[in-house]
Copies of this chain bind each other. A is one copy, B any other.
């Protein structure tokens, strides 16, 4: 799986992923009104607004960006209708040639972890017929429960050629509260990182990176540099660019000298571009997807420039 992601990053010269984390306040009125006209001002109506908003953005950026990362929490606020909008977003992005990283941060043990694997990167068996319920290409996972909460995903990951990013060092201000605690002189997140590197050993592809990646927040540049050196076969998913304050220079350390090694997420900075000071003069609310496209182009230039300076 990781080879497909890196191939596409190289092809587009763009190591970025668009976070599809919609909220109603971010969706232009004309999209919402059309959705409410069909389903009412209900969870179903809001879910339809999410889906149409996402589809327009996917249409506008799919030739420029290798991947999208829908954040499932936003869809859960809309109950089962929101889950259906998530599933249809995944399907649509894949139809448009994009790789989908489900930002689900799930964690559980044994057969429960297997159920999450089945749900998100595998297929459910109903009396001999199989159904891929969520069908993401890659997912994010939380490692607090240890190896036997991650390993149950491997069989499904291999069978369906999927991948994962395990939380290592997160981008939030409080991320260090437990992750930075020193264990034998080494911060916990480095211990976790070393486990991630080891889990990936059997899943390495042609670039030397494995299907078991790590989430490494861009808000801590020196930690990114250190982890890049410590985990040479682990690909990074890097949140924190833009809205969370990290610049392209901050996160250059997450990449190798050849400019490979990470994919950088931006959510609000892309999908909310039409509302931002930078783009709102140039685009009307009806042109929200074009504003996203402009923001994607600017982000690619910013990142590519910092990586190939």
Q: Contact check, A131 vs B43: say whether CB atoms are below 8 A apart.
A: yes
Residues in B whose Cβ lies below 8 Å from that of A116: 73, 76
Residues in B whose Cβ lies below 8 Å from that of A127: 24, 32, 36, 41
Cβ of A84 < 8 Å from any Cβ of B? yes
Min CB gap A239→B, angstroms: 9
Min CB gap A38→B, angstroms: 14
Q: Contact check, B147 vs A144: say whether CB atoms are below 8 A apart.
A: no
Q: Contact check, A126 vs B46: say whether CB atoms are below 8 A apart.
A: yes
Complex CA–CA separation, A187 to B57 (angstroms): 46
Max chain B Cβ within 10 angstroms of own Cβ: one of A45, A77, A87, A105: A77
Min CB gap A180→B, angstroms: 9
Cβ of A197 < 8 Å from any Cβ of B? no
Q: Contact check, A115 vs B76: say whether CB atoms are below 8 A apart.
A: yes
Min CB gap A134→B, angstroms: 7
- Which residues of chain A from 181 to 208 have any CB-CB distance to chain B below 8 Å in the complex? 181-184, 188, 191-192, 195
Q: Contact check, B105 vs A177: say whether CB atoms are below 8 A apart.
A: no
- Which residues of chain A from 112 to 171 have any CB-CB distance to chain B below 8 Å in the complex? 112-113, 115-116, 118-120, 124-129, 131, 133-134, 142-149, 167, 170-171
Residues in B whose Cβ lies below 8 Å from that of A179: 144, 146
23 contacts between A and B (CB under 8 A): A32-B127, A41-B126, A41-B127, A42-B126, A73-B106, A73-B112, A74-B115, A76-B115, A76-B120, A77-B115, A79-B124, A80-B83, A80-B84, A105-B107, A110-B172, A142-B144, A142-B145, A143-B178, A144-B167, A144-B170, A146-B177, A146-B178, A148-B174
Q: Contact check, B177 vs A188: say whether CB atoms are below 8 A apart.
A: no
Complex CA–CA separation, A188 to B192 (angstroms): 13
Complex CA–CA separation, A176 to B192 (angstroms): 13
Q: Contact check, A80 vs B76: say whether CB atoms are below 8 A apart.
A: no
Chain B's closest residue to A133 (CB) is B79
Complex CA–CA separation, A126 to B41 (angstroms): 6
Min CB gap A77→B, angstroms: 4
Residues in B whose Cβ lies below 8 Å from that of A107: 105, 107, 142
Contact partner of A172 among B76, B77, B149, CB < 8 A? B149
Q: Given A112-B73, A145-B167, answer yes or no on A78-B174 (Cβ-Cβ < 8 Å).
A: no
Min CB gap A17→B, angstroms: 16
Q: Contact check, B45 vs A126: say whether CB atoms are below 8 A apart.
A: yes
Q: Given A127-B41, A133-B82, A174-B147, answer yes or no on A108-B105 (Cβ-Cβ < 8 Å).
A: yes
Chain B's closest residue to A268 (CB) is B111
Q: Contact check, A87 vs B76: say whether CB atoms are below 8 A apart.
A: no
Contact partner of A174 among B32, B42, B149, B181, CB < 8 A? B149
Q: Contact check, B188 vs A178: say whether CB atoms are below 8 A apart.
A: yes
Residues in B whose Cβ lies below 8 Å from that of A108: 71, 73, 105
Cβ of A175 < 8 Å from any Cβ of B? yes
Residues in B whose Cβ lies below 8 Å from that of A45: 126
